[in-house]
Amino acid sequence: MEYFKSGLKSVLGAPPPGTQITGAETVEKLVSRVSTSTLLEDRRDACRALKAMSKQYRLEVGAQGMDILRQVLELDRNDCEITGYCLDALCNITSKEVFEDENQSNMNMAVNVGEQFSEMFLKNQENVSLVLSFLDEYDFRVRWPAVKLLTSLTTCKLKEIQDIILVSPMGVSKLMDLLSDNREVIRNDALLLLINLTKSNANIQKIVAFENAFDKLLNIITEEGYTDGGIVVEDCLLLMLNLLKNNTSNINFFKEGSYIQKLAPMFILPDNLEEVGWSPQKISNFHCVLQLVRTLVSPNNPAQIITSCQKTLRDAGLLESLCNILMASGVPADILTETINTVAEVIRGNLTNQEFFANVLAPSNPPRPALVVLIMSMVNEKQPFALRCAVLYCFECFLYKNEIGQDLVVQTLLPSSTGNTTVTAGQLLCSGLFSNDSLSNWFSAVALSHCLIENPAQKEQLLRVLLATNLGAQPVTLLNQCGVFLQHTSKLQAKLGILMLLSMWMAHCPAAVKIFLNVPGAMAFLTAQTSASEFDNNEELLQGLCAFIMGLCVLFNDNTVQNYSKENLSQLIEKRVCIETYCKKLNEISRHEVYAKAAKQPQIKAKHSSELLLEFEFCKLFKVMEGLIIQALGVQRDLSNGISELSLSEHENALLLQYKELIRDQDKKLQDLQRKFNHLQKECNDLQTQVEELQQTNTQLVDQNTLLKVQLSTANTSHVTNIIHEVKSMSPESAEPYPVFIHGNNDLLLDRIKKLEADNERLEKVESELAEKTSELESYQRDQDDLLELLTAQDTKLNKFKERLRQLGALSRSDESSSDLSDNDNDRDSGPSLL
């Protein structure tokens, strides 16, 4: 501290003796020195001092000096030394960590000072561009603090700086270039910066990948000696993980760029590993590589990506290497666990990979399938919990969409396979199912249930499995034993496991339901659990599951068991449990947090064994079946709550019948009237067309008439005058030769007149006929009006009757429309037979 103070003295000049200057005052002086000095050396010294004070007097330096430091960065950027001091000072100011020698007064503040200053610094986007531009400077004194400053900013305000860097031209490219820096400090710090920057930002992840990140990182990993390398390898792997997690585009790029093949050397364990042992760093590195593989084939990815990555992993020999690690000795437990999880996801739903896995043999004597060895660990109480969970997950993934695998496991349980003395997967599961360890019970039950998923044939096959319980006693079926065990065990976890197995078994399998219904006491147990009104500590799950199994018994009942037919069971639920209680119990499952957790992902994720209660595939089944069960029971419920004849007294019943009769009569009448109306309407239409036709002919005739009249008049006048004219013109000369001609002409005219008169007469007759027709039409229209009136009267009467019916409560709301009435009648008529 003394040295520091003397340094300050040299910068500021000695203070007048006797006065104690505070840190704030010193900072103030330094800041003014930086802003007013004309000599670069002076400014540089002041900046160095500010940097030195920026930890202890962070608040003062930040509050007074941030602007001036930024200014120096712009104005003195050609001098690497002063730029370095400024960047260092800014880095300290914006750092999130609390420094050891920082002023106590600052410590009391609730807000993080570094975060506040980061926010202030980021308010101006230009500042980030400025810092980014210093990355171009090769000088170590500038480039390194610039990287550190950016890192410090990302730890405080990640989202903001991500957005700024995305829009800065070449922002990400500059950062990527740092990975090629031959000074390891810069390269390693750039790695940390990139790890921060790529967190949950798909756009930056893609640009980083585009800038050859995978090539660069894999080169570094190779140089550092793969998983034997130091923490840098871990950082490289972490960055790769960030780039790939939930980023389909980058996973595709990773696969297409043949980077999966480049991972292969990391999975080959050296021969002398047992002597050398696993260093903590090697364990961390290995853990990351396994995570990397899992990210590629995570069940959350699109199916197409998963399948192609699985194929590539197999072809590149990675699956084989992973299986070798499974069977190797001396592998630390957590690595082994994660390897099992990785193998699980590499084979999940991929038949070729599943077959490969089924054929892997453990190096034991005699060689056993790896699958059997793994299941041995699962039902072994002494194995670590996480490992046992991983084995179950691996087994589930082996069976996922794998009918051959399901068959393989069930086959080992069937009587035909006796004589074989080796331990089989099926035997291990069966003994685990009824062992004293409730976790083994749960694991085995879930494992067995996965043999049955979407596989009706195996459900039937498993029914044939017989168990020898006591020496000399009759062998019992597996299902029967499950039903008995369910009632005898006191452990919740075991019960839930068995119930989940049963539900998977009985869904869509009437034969299984039949056997279960015949298990003594089974139904009574379910009824008691479902109708229980109190529960403690996750017992609501047990009650819900019992309700669920009862529902499955109703749904998949083939009515072959006496006393437990579909109707019997629904009555049981209705009368003993009450439908509301039943639905509440059923809902209890999906509302439980355990359900939400289990339904999230296929992998079993639990920190403690007591958390294992429900399982992913069961949740899927429950989701589908819940609705169907409620629907199946709902039909019955409507009848019992509605207007069933049984629920009415005799008097009411008679009244109801009376009204039904009435409604039926009215309905008939209504239909009759409708028919009549239709008929009349048709007639009316016909008449209308007739009238139109008549009118048409009428106008035609009128036209003809006028034409004729005109013709007549012209013929009468012009003709005669013409003749007279002719006669006159002729007469002076010689009238003699023409009289005969005139006479003849006269005759012709007379004839024509007569004909016209007859025409006139005919016209008059047609006119009178027309009048007659019109009056007829009018009378028809009157008739029609009358009928319509009658119809409305009937309608109102009908409504009145309905009103009266409703008052009697016999009509439900949905029966408003009269046409529905008849339908309802039919429903009600068929009602009693259902009950």
Q: Is the backbone of residue 472 left (phi > 0), alpha (psi -120 to 50) or beta? A: left
Distance from C-alpha of 542 to C-alpha of 390, rounded to nearest angstrom: 25
Complete DSSP assignment for 446-468: HHHHHTSTT-HHHHHHHHT-EE-
Q: Residues 167 to 226: which contact another protein by CB under 8 A?
A: 167, 169-173, 202-203, 206-207, 210-212, 215
Nearer Cβ to another protein (171/551): 171
Position among 116, 125, 129, 261 found at the interface with another protein (CB under 8 A): 261
Contact status: 308 vs another protein (CB under 8 A): yes
Closer to another protein by CB, 202 or 787: give it.
202
Q: What is the closest distance, in whole angstroms, from the C-beta atom of residue 209 to another protein in the complex?
A: 8
What are phi and psi for residue 466, nearest 5 degrees? -115, 145
Q: Measured from the CB of residue 315, what is the shortest distance to another protein in angstroms?
A: 4
702 binds another protein (CB under 8 A): no
Stretch that binds another protein, among 164-172, 505-513, 596-604, 636-644 (CB under 8 A): 164-172
Q: Pick the closer one to another protein by CB: 207 or 373.
A: 207
Kindly tell me which of 308 and 698 has the beta carbon lying closer to another protein.
Answer: 308
What are the CA-CA distances from residue 833 to residues 105, 351, 646 (Å)? 86, 51, 11
Please report how close the Cβ of residue 317 comes to another protein at its closest, in angstroms: 5
Please state the closest distance from residue 207 (CB atom) to another protein, in A: 5
What residues contact residue 96 under an 8 Å CB cut-off, 6+ apart? 112, 114, 115, 118, 152, 155, 156
Least separation in angstroms between residue 182's CB and another protein is 17
The C-alpha angle 194, 196, 199, rounded to 5 degrees, equals 105
Q: How far apart are CA 121 and CA 86, in angstroms?
A: 13
Q: Which of 6, 32, 71, 249 binds another protein (CB under 8 A)?
A: 249
Q: Which residues are bridge partners to 581 per DSSP?
A: none
Contact between 513 and 506 (Cβ < 8 Å):
yes
Quick one: 748 exposed, middle or buried, by C-beta within 10 A (0-12, 13-18, 19+)?
Answer: exposed
Residue from 252, 427, 538, 644 binding another protein (CB under 8 A): 252
Which residue's CB is nearer to another protein, number 256 or number 820? 256
User: How near is the Cβ of 264 to another protein at its closest, in Å?
Assistant: 6
The span of 314-322, 330-338, 340-348, 700-708 binding another protein (CB under 8 A) equals: 314-322
Each residue 477-496 as x (binds another protein by CB under 8 A) or -, in order, gives --------------------
Minimal distance, residue 265 CB to another protein, in Å: 8
Place of tokens 């998977």: 504
The residue among 360 and 453 lying less far from another protein, judged by its C-beta, is 360
Contacts of 448 (CB under 8 A, 6+ apart): 429, 433, 462, 501
Among 316, 328, 715, 777, binds another protein (CB under 8 A): 316
The residue from 255, 282, 287, 802 that contacts another protein (CB under 8 A) is: 255
Nearest distance from residue 503's CB to another protein, in Å? 38
Q: Does residue 324 bind another protein (CB under 8 A)?
A: no
Tokens matching residue 231: 């923490």
Query: At its nearest, how many Å lie between another protein and the CB of residue 206?
Result: 5
Question: By C-beta, is 211 or 334 nearer to another protein?
Answer: 211
Q: Which spans in 509-603 are helix H?
A: 510-517, 522-531, 539-555, 566-572, 579-591, 593-598
If the CB atoms of residues 171 and 432 are measured against another protein, the closer one turns out to be: 171
257 vs 299 by CB, closer to another protein: 257
Query: Residue type for 530, please?
Result: T
What is the secondary structure of 245-256 as a DSSP string? TT-HHHHHHHHH
Contact residue for another protein among 6, 10, 36, 258 (CB under 8 A): 258
Stretch near another protein under the rule CB under 8 A, chosen from 43-51, 250-258, 642-650, 712-720: 250-258
> Could you tell me which of 523, 443, 455 has the C-alpha nearest to residue 486?
523
Please name the residues in contact with 314: beta carbons below 8 A apart, sequence gap of 6 or more: 320, 346, 350, 352, 353, 356
626 vs 587: CA distance, rounded Å: 9
| Residues 596-615 interacting with another protein (rule: CB under 8 A) | none
- The separation between the first and the last C-alpha atoms of the chain, rounded to the nearest angstrom, is 96
Task: List contacts with another protein (CB under 8 A).
Answer: 166-167, 169-173, 202-203, 206-207, 210-212, 215, 249-250, 252-253, 255-258, 260-262, 264, 308, 311-312, 315-317
